[in-house]
Amino acid sequence: MLTGLMGTAPGWPPRRLALASLILLVVTLFVQVGGGPALAAPLKLLAFGDSLVHGYGLPAGATFPEQLEAALRARGLDVEVINGGNSGDTTAAGLARLDWALAERPDAVLVELGANDSLRGLDPAETAANLEAILIRLKREGLPVLLAGMLAPRNLGADYAAEFDAIYPRLAEQHGVAFYPFFLEAVAMESALNQDDGIHPNAAGVQVIVAAMLPQVLRLIETARAGAAADG
């Protein structure tokens, strides 16, 4: 519009033309950056885990990250839940790819790992060391964490189960992170809530997990927002 006005007034004084050009430049920049102040980016929550997070055997929209994000948005929360799951991961594999996952620049992290360690009967001391290294790294990044616990299969013996199960509450207390005792609470061993393999939740099972974990996740988000406000 200003260009048109300038074009129809060739006799404008140079100072007036300069002012009009300056206004045109400001308007152009205003449009290029989106027509106004940038909207705040959604809070990023990284769900970091194995196939239980990744969504093994589930259709699009039914995975844990997708259902969790939908539940949060239904409550009016602008949160993006990043699917940082990788089927088959042990805690060692998770630790090895942690830097790659953090490239997503999350504001908070939910950690779910260890099921494959116990299914393979790996040494609980190694599982504990890997999880501790993950928590230490996340703490160094200043990220609030929700640690989801796992329970060992009982066919591995009482001693193994007791040592493995104790890893999660101990690490949560030692590192001062939020703790959800058992990721598969109310879903494990429930045939109607699991796929045919009896291990991985179906869409209904994931819905149960999300509903049970939601209060803890909401507190994690509050912590992340409070930290961002303090930093800003």
- In angstroms, rounded to a whole number, what is the distance separating the alpha carbons of residues 58 and 26? 50
| pLDDT confidence of residue 230 | 78
User: Is 87 an annotated catalytic residue?
Assistant: no
Helix (H) or strand (E) holding 78: none
Active-site residue (options: 50, 107, 118, 200): 200
| Bridge partners of residue 180, in order along the sequence | 148
| pLDDT confidence of residue 15 | 58
| pLDDT confidence of residue 33 | 40
Residue linked to tokens 């609030």? 144
- In angstroms, rounded to a whole number, what is the distance separating the alpha carbons of residues 72 and 79? 7
43-231 sits in which CATH class? alpha beta
Stretches where the chain sits below pLDDT 70 are 1-39, 232
- Name the amino acid, one letter, at 30: F
| pLDDT confidence of residue 105 | 97
Active-site residue (options: 51, 54, 107, 117): 51
pLDDT digits (tens, 9 = 90+) for 181-193: 999 999 999 999 9
What's the length of the chain? 232
User: Is 200 an annotated catalytic residue?
Assistant: yes
Residues 148, 217 contacting (CB under 8 angstroms):
no
CB atoms within 10 A of CB 213: 21
Helix (H) or strand (E) holding 121: none
| pLDDT confidence of residue 16 | 55
- In angstroms, rounded to a whole number, what is the distance separating the alpha carbons of residues 95 and 101? 10
Structural Rg of the chain based on CA atoms:
25
Residues of the chain with CATH 3.40.50.1110: 43-231
| pLDDT confidence of residue 29 | 40
Question: CA-CA distances (angstroms) from residue 9 to 25, 26, 92, 217?
Answer: 18, 21, 72, 62
| pLDDT confidence of residue 169 | 98
- Cβ-count burial 216-230 (b if 16+ within 10 Å, e if not): bbeebbebbbeeeee
Active-site residue (options: 99, 159, 196, 197): 197
- Name the amino acid, one letter, at 196: D
